Amino acid sequence: MIQRDTPVSNFELRIPTPEGFDFAHCLDYLGRSSEECLYEIHEQTVRKLLVINDRSVLLQVGSQGGRLLKAVVLHGGPLTAAEQQTVEAYIRNWFDLERDLGPFYILAEEDVMLNGIAKSFYGLRMVGIPDLFEALCWAVLGQQINLSFAYALKKNITYAYGNPLDWNGRRYYSFPSAKQLLATSPEELGAMKVSRAKSAALLEIAQRMESGELSRDQLIRLGDYDQMGEHLQRIKGIGPWTSHYVRMRCLGDPGAFPIGDAGLRNAVKLAAGLEEKPSEAFLQQLFEPWKGWEAYVTFYLWRTLY
């Protein structure tokens, strides 16, 4: 077990943020559950343990002056120039910093239901899961169960197979790699209350990623989000909801539409003042004017639930 008693700031990165970016809203989203095990909110910053070139790197990200994100490596440096680029790319993907949200806000301003929601959370970005394996596993674990149970399953797997780091009296974890998860078995996952079907899906995803058959870069190179989704859905256990969720949270698709999501239906019911949860047909019609921005509309609607 790696131990360190005093902070070492051997690398700082300052990343300009887009007009209107609000880190506080993103931090509120990240802090939505006390059960989260893969990062920690600390004094208006977020700490995240990454594995870069088989080395644990503890990263702290916060806002500086409202127009910059400041990232500090607390443990695991010094970083090479290539590793610094990896960290910057991760942060840019994490907070969707390359996206121009101007068209989304114009669309929301002209919509009766979205107008107030967009104003309330103005500056919130799609908080992503840049690591494809983590994103796929999280999506599979969350299938057809409540969020609290999904967090419990993720915590069980992370604590059993992930990478721990003890630093300044706190323990941080990164999600296990595909290779680490392949060291387990369906029986071990079942003992952690992961269903047989989900265990099979997790291990198949791990096998494909470890073999190089599946990667984020490979999917991005396809250049078409529908093709990315079709590629993912060839994996048993990944259906439309899971693929759209991963397209939304990991692959940068602003038009991803997890139409079967229970949280989305609850949010629309509340926002639209419906007596019952909306049907898929209702959602299809409701989202028609928001084509191309379904993921952001979904994300903002989710935000109204907590």
Catalytic residues: 261
The total number of residues shown for the chain amounts to 306
Residue by residue, DSSP assigns 130-196 as --HHHHHHHHHHTTTS-HHHHHHHHHHHHHHHSEEEEETTEEEEEPPPHHHHHTS-HHHHHHTT--H
Cα distance between residue 304 and residue 201, in whole Å: 31
Strands ordered across the beta sheet of 45-52: 12-16, 68-75, 55-64, 45-52, 39-42
Contact 58, 74 (CB under 8 A): yes
Contact 113, 14 (CB under 8 A): no
Cα distance between residue 172 and residue 246, in whole Å: 24
Contact 90, 13 (CB under 8 A): no
Angle ∠(136,75,124) on CA atoms, nearest 5: 50
CA distances from 127 to 142, 245, 248 (A): 17, 12, 10
Three-state DSSP at 255 gives coil
Beta partners for 107?
none
Displacement of CA 89 from its chain's centroid (Å): 14
